[in-house]
Amino acid sequence: MTEFVPYISAGINCHMMGRIISYSQSSHTCEVQPLPLQSDGDKRAPLTEVIVPASIYKIAGLKIKRNSVVWIGYCDRDMDNWTGANNYKIETKRMHSIQDAVVEAVIEE
């Protein structure tokens, strides 16, 4: 159990802090560099197509831009077929994946 629980926990993504590398105002998606380093000290791979929800980008006076520090959350299920407010079909068995990231908060502009 002392090895099994950490192994399983390492595969479950919940939240992470990151820095915006680029932001698309037309699609409201961004590329984010995770801030925590890997165990060997290297940077983690950037997260692409991270959704920036209206609850973030519509805040008056908030500038979402390169180098903003953000709080990222990961959807419980895959978002491959999600296109907006409608229900969508789950495409895979993927859960809590870094491929299904959403900006939940801007920590620092």
User: Does the 4-108 domain belong in CATH 2.40.50.230?
Assistant: yes
Query: How many helices (H) and strands (E) would you count in the chain?
Result: 2, 5
For tokens 């870094």, name the residue: 98
User: What pLDDT score does 7 carry?
Assistant: 82
User: What pLDDT score does 8 carry?
Assistant: 83
CA 9 to each of CA 2, 22, 67, 71, 76: distance values in angstroms, whole numbers, following the listed order: 11, 30, 29, 19, 14
List pLDDT tens digits, range 22-51: 999 999 999 999 999 999 999 999 999 999
Q: Which amino acid is at 92?
A: T
Give this prediction's pTM. 0.86
User: What pLDDT score does 48 carry?
Assistant: 96
Give the dihedral sign, CA 52/58/64/68.
Answer: negative
- Is the pLDDT assigned to residue 1 strictly greater than 80? no
How far apart are alpha carbons 109 and 64 in whole angstroms? 7
